Structure 1
Amino acid sequence: MARTVRPKKNLGQHFLTDLTVAQRIADTVDACPTLPILEVGPGMGVLTQYLTQKGREVRVVEIDRESVAYLREHFPLLSEDILGEDFLRMDLDRVFAGRPFVLTGNYPYDISSQIFFKMLDNRCLIPCCTGMIQHEVAQRIASAPGCKAYGILSVMIQTWYDVEYLFTVDETVFNPPPKVKSAVIRMMRNSRTHLGCDEALFRRVVKAVFNQRRKMLRVSLRQIFSSTPASPEFYAQAVMTRRPEELSVSEFINLTHLVSEELERLKNLL
């Protein structure tokens, strides 16, 4: 059995060594006190040890076989709940038999955005998500309209979750130390149950305009209408002189309605 685990660069492993920070991260799940907990990337269990003290069902998912061996040795009571899988490929419906759960972890930096997009796809199962990520990514997720960090990730997550930036974590509390600071955030499902517009088109609009974030909407939206150009009247609307970082989630929903109506109009002309 593994006595210790060697951090692997290809898995983006930076093991947290500060127990005080680990306890603080574990306490972020208290916002949803009755739900079971799924921890992503437990490594050697520095966070796991505090999560198991919460008096709740806890499962951990870990892709690194060396870490799985270590966890089975050091957390024998958790043995049946140690899932040696890739979180990004998991069917989250089967983790707790379709019951909602809290998602948490010291997330690998290189896949944190992918983890959160999977969270969005499974938002009915995940009313609360907490954990530690790269400081820059945390800033993007929590950023408000008008800020430089506000972008695709901000809009997509804030559409469905209320975001709290909780605290910053220094590089020195990891082995090996990352080259950047980290941050702990909490995301709680908001009251929005549907957009009132086509969700796929909403995502397409958000990505299209932020891919040309310095340009006005009347320029960046043209790629949506590449096959059949939109009308001059469409581009003459007041919102078209704005830039994407200025728009709130609600305004992006309204913008998607405008785009949808124009696409429908063009379709009827064919």
Structure 2
Amino acid sequence: MIDNLPPLRQILDDHDLQARKSMGQNFLLDLNLTAKIARQAGDLADCDVLEIGPGPGGLTRGLLAEGARHVLAIEKDRRCLPALSQIADAYPGRLTVIDGDALEINPLAHLTPPIRVAANLPYNIGTELLVRWLTPPDWPPFWQSLTLMFQREVAERIVAKPGSKAYGRLALLAQWRADARIVMNLPPEAFTPPPKVSSAVVHLTALPKPKFEADAAVLSRVVATAFNQRRKMLRSALKGIAPDIEDRLLAAGIKPTERAEQVPLEAFCALAREVAK
């Protein structure tokens, strides 16, 4: 046991907690696994940790047991609150639980830097939250690192390289401003109820500044337009961006006949600079 609290299965029974599909819930009940995920977030002793969708608190307990200075957990499902308050009592002063929707709450009022994010994200809002964390108005962001559980297919899109089917907007967004790697794979049977797909934990470390110079808004528009028609050659897919797009592609070192999935991040940034001119 990682602490003196009851096993998670017992907590589910005590509070009559069944995972709800409508909330994208799949509970992770193995405390050895949740502690292992917490360790992937790095040394937490001097950090505040933001956790989204703690559910009955498996990962929350892992983060606290691994020494997180303070955990802020945002939970939309009120049925989970009694279980989380049990954890707060076991770790006095180190866990704050906010009842609400993570998409609508600004957590920064409750956190003291340095801040890391660690979460088994609800499947239905995971990508949206990641995109928000990667696209703040100012960089570097409020977080040092993100350690996040996704469906494996989403995790592969975050770390994908040019030329692969998974390569697209999410890979470019993540890899422009962060180092991203898959640090753990989890089979469906690790969860209750088991999802239909495998899962993976991705660890992203914020870079002090983006890997290559580019205006964030221009880069985002160029990449979105290129991948919206990923089967087309770039000279066709991007013709709405600039009338002389072929010249700008050539100036950025990109063949106009290439498709979006063949173009590496550095070249997209060069193109964004050409378009911004």
- TM bin, normalised by shorter chain, reads 0.7 to 0.9
Which of 220, 229, 235 is the aligned partner of 1:203? 220
Which one has the bigger helix percentage? 1
- Pair 1:169–1:153, CA change in 2 (3 A): same
Q: Provide structure 1 residue ranges, at least 5 long, that are not aligned to the other structure.
A: 262-270
- Pair 1:202–1:31, CA change in 2 (3 A): farther
Which of 104, 115, 118 is the aligned partner of 1:89? 104
Which of 16, 28, 32 is the aligned partner of 2:28? 16
- SS of the aligned residue for 2:180 comes to strand
Aligned match of 1:134: 151
C-alpha separation in 2, matches of 1:231 and 1:116: 31
TM-score (norm 1): 0.87
Range moving further from structure 2, 162-171 or 236-245: 236-245
2:89 matched to 1:72? no
Identity, % of aligned pairs?
Answer: 32
C-alpha separation in 2, matches of 1:231 and 1:47: 48
Aligned match of 2:7: none
Pairing of 1:176-191 with structure 2 (within 5 A): 176-191=193-208
2:62 matched to 1:50? yes
Pairing of 1:255-270 with structure 2 (within 5 A): 255-261=271-277
Aligned match of 1:156: 173
Aligned match of 1:116: 130
- Pair 1:195–1:85, CA change in 2 (3 A): farther
- Pair 1:196–1:211, CA change in 2 (3 A): same
* 1:235 CA displacement: 6.1
* 1:54 CA displacement: 2.7
C-alpha separation in 2, matches of 1:166 and 1:79: 26
TM-score (norm 2): 0.85
* 1:236 CA displacement: 6.0
Which of 237, 240, 248 is the aligned partner of 2:264? 248
Which of 178, 190, 198 is the aligned partner of 1:173? 190
State the AA in 2 paired with 1:51. Answer: L
C-alpha separation in 1, matches of 2:244 and 2:147: 42
Conservation of the 8 A alpha-carbon contact between 1:59 and 1:78: no
- Pair 1:120–1:235, CA change in 2 (3 A): closer
C-alpha separation in 1, matches of 2:51 and 2:261: 33
State the AA in 2 paired with 1:161. Answer: A
Conservation of the 8 A alpha-carbon contact between 1:60 and 1:83: yes
Q: Provide structure 2 residue ranges, at least 5 long, that are not aligned to the other structure.
A: 1-10
The C-alpha deviation readout for 1:151-182, integer Å capped at 9, x for no partner, is 11000011111011112100011111101000
Aligned match of 2:74: 61
- Pair 1:93–1:121, CA change in 2 (3 A): farther
Aligned match of 1:105: 119
* 1:234 CA displacement: 4.2
C-alpha separation in 1, matches of 2:77 and 2:206: 30
Aligned match of 2:6: none
Range moving further from structure 2, 240-249 or 201-210: 240-249
